[in-house]
Amino acid sequence: MSHESPDAITAYNPFQGNRLGLDAPPVAAASAAARTVHVEFADGSTTFFHHQWLRHCCYCQACGNPADGIRFNTVISFESDIAPAAVSAMHGDLTVTWPDGHESVYGPDWLRHHAYDGANRRQRSGWRPTRWRSELVQNFPTVGWTDASDGGAGQLGALQLLRDYGIVQIAGIGTDPAATERLAALVGPIHETTVYGYIYDVKAEPVAKLGAKTGMPQAPHIDDAFYYSPPGIDVFHCMVNTEEGGMSTYVDGFAIAQSLAAEQPDAYELLTTLPISQIRRHPGEIDLRNRGPLISLDEFGRPQGIRYFDRALAPLDVDADVMDAFYNAVREYNRRMIDPAFIAEIRVKPGNGMLIDNHRVMHGRTAFDPSFGRHIRLCHVPRDEFHGRLRELSRTLDPEHHDEYLPQGARS
């Protein structure tokens, strides 16, 4: 049996059909109307599915499924006016027989998690960020390493804090440099970039290529905002800190967005629609540029990503009519970003780490004396990897929420 054989693939992806393996009230009744099939569950709730939607979504072994990419049934496999020859509620499932004799069976759990009537769509779009300001320091989201690395409920708890607050401190990792990779592995594989490499040692150097490697203060910022797809999760591992200065500062970009929407709606409108440009050039090596809104909105009009790095902001390039208003709008964001009311400031202990949603939470530091040897190790993990692991853990440990839509980050 070759490694690529269908049998080998099936071994990794056991056949599931249209089922999730979750608890759900059985299908009690089904009937076909003009364009849709109406389904009633044993708890009395009802929903409906378009005929062609049901035909498209058949995950039987003949049709294949999107999980392993072996799929023989696509939108051009049937016409839009396809209609069932028969529908029935059988053994708690919805069974549909098509005019060509093909039979589809949908489990009630799968149907409920994919239903697109109003209530089910609201449920999937129900996640909300926990926005915070300076008061976060009084109860900083923190999980110990033993829990965070348990591969189960403890790890899920840490990832949920990262999802909800955009930041979580992992305590008690130790100061073995090899632990940086173990910390990153909680959310996914490390993504190497030209600017930071694989793992970047943030410590003061006599000749610094980046501001990070000095003792200078750094205003809160999004790392690498000049990439089309900026690093997803910042992974910080504190090796040595100072006793004076060198405080870590964090700001919730979603809290600033909320404040702008309420207090400066015109500025909010500009920042969510017009592009700013951010740049980074290392002569002879690379010239990185991105144009995109400072605040990206999702399909529901809610913030899904923040992209702002004050020191990397390029000359603005927008219509002359809005130039002054746009500068003012960026200024409104920038002022809040350095306002102590928005900044959570803590001293990170050696041996502790921080996971940060780099499309939402900005990080910075106060000045420190470079001779004290402050040393932070830094690497990045894509956000998709983080959300992907979070969903997979949730599927068994928090199934009700495993398919909630999560913010997909700053748009380019």
CB 63 to Zn ion: min, Å: 3
- Residue 60 interface partner, choices Zn ion, Fe ion, none, CB cut-off 5-8 Å depending on type: Zn ion
Distance of alpha carbon 83 from alpha carbon 51, whole angstroms: 6
- Out of 93, 223, 252, 310, name the contact with Fe ion by CB under 5 A: 223
- Residue 223 interface partner, choices Fe ion, Zn ion, none, CB cut-off 5-8 Å depending on type: Fe ion
Which range in 88-96, 191-199, 216-224, 351-359 contacts Fe ion by CB under 5 A? 216-224
Distance of alpha carbon 24 from alpha carbon 20, whole angstroms: 10
Select the residue whose beta carbon is closest to Fe ion and give its number: 223
Q: State which H helix or E strand residue 356 sits in.
A: strand 353-357
Pairing between strand 167-171 and 142-144? parallel
Report yes or no: 201 and 257 within 8 Å, Cβ to Cβ: no
**Three-state secondary structure call for residue 307:** coil
CB 12 to Zn ion: min, Å: 21
Distance of alpha carbon 16 from alpha carbon 37, whole angstroms: 22
CB 104 to Zn ion: min, Å: 5
Rank residues 33 and 62 by Cβ distance to Zn ion and give the closer one. Answer: 62
Q: In sequence order, what are the beta bridge partners of 276?
A: 292
- Residue 63 interface partner, choices Fe ion, Zn ion, none, CB cut-off 5-8 Å depending on type: Zn ion
- Residue 312 interface partner, choices Fe ion, Zn ion, none, CB cut-off 5-8 Å depending on type: none
* Contact flag: residue 224 with Fe ion (CB under 5 A): no
CB 82 to Zn ion: min, Å: 12
Distance of alpha carbon 233 from alpha carbon 355, whole angstroms: 6
CB 114 to Fe ion: min, Å: 40
Contacts of 95 (CB under 8 A, 6+ apart): 30, 87, 88, 89, 103, 104, 105, 106
Distance of alpha carbon 205 from alpha carbon 108, whole angstroms: 61
Rank residues 365 and 389 by Cβ distance to Fe ion and give the closer one. Answer: 365
For binding to Zn ion (CB under 5 A), which residues are involved? 58, 60, 63
CB 216 to Fe ion: min, Å: 12
Rank residues 65 and 160 by Cβ distance to Zn ion and give the closer one. Answer: 65
CA 177 to chain centre: 27
Distance of alpha carbon 4 from alpha carbon 9, whole angstroms: 7
The residues binding Fe ion (CB under 5 A) are 223
